[in-house]
C-alpha cells in the first residue's frame, strides 16, 4: 500500500500515492494540492530518508547525512510543516512510507526516529 496525505479543507481533500512514492499535500489559499514524490534510489537508512523528505517538504538543499534539528525532528514526527510563501500561509502534510514498502528500493530501515 502506498502513502497518502490529507488536507483539513476541503473535507476529503488529499492524495493517495502508489508504492515507491511518498505523498505530499500543500494547503494554500483554501486549495489542497497533492503530489506523489518518487523515492530516491540509494537511500540506505532512516537518516537519509528523513533528509530526503525534509528537503522536499522544506524546499531546501540537504545532505543525506545532515544532522536533524529539533525542528526537523518535530516535522518528521508530526508529518506536518507550516511555512509562508509570498506572504501566504502554507500547511504541508506528508506521509512517510512504511518500512515494509522500503525493501523494494533496496532499503531496509529501522524504526522512525
- Please tell me which of 1-5, 19-23, 72-76 the model is most confident about, judged by mean pLDDT: 72-76
Instruction: Answer whether residue 108 shows pLDDT above 50.
Output: no
Nine-digit cell at 28? 494554500
Side-chain-side CA neighbours of 1 within 13 Å: the count stands at: 6
Q: Indicate yes or no: pTM above 0.75.
A: yes
Of 109, 75, 107, the C-alpha closest to 92 is 75
pLDDT of residue 7: 78
Distance between CA atoms of residues 44 and 47, nearest Å: 8
State the pLDDT confidence band at 12, using cuts at 50, 70 and 90. Answer: low
- Mean pLDDT, rounded, of the chain: 82
Amino acid at each position: 500500500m502506498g502513502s497518502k496525505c490529507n488536507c483539513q479543507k476541503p473535507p476529503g481533500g488529499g492524495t493517495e500515492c502508489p508504492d515507491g512514492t511518498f505523498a505530499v499535500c500543500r494547503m494554500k489559499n483554501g486549495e489542497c494540492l497533492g503530489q506523489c514524490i518518487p523515492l530516491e534510489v540509494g537511500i540506505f537508512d532512516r537518516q537519509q530518508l528523513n533528509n530526503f523528505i525534509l528537503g522536499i517538504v522544506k524546499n531546501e538543499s540537504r545532505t543525506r547525512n545532515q544532522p536533524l534539528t529539533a525542528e526537523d525532528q518535530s516535522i518528521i514526527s508530526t508529518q506536518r510543516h507550516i511555512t509562508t510563501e509570498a506572504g501566504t500561509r502554507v500547511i504541508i502534510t506528508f506521509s512517510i512510507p512504511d518500512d515494509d514498502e522500503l525493501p523494494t528500493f533496496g532499503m531496509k530501515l529501522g524504526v522512525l526516529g
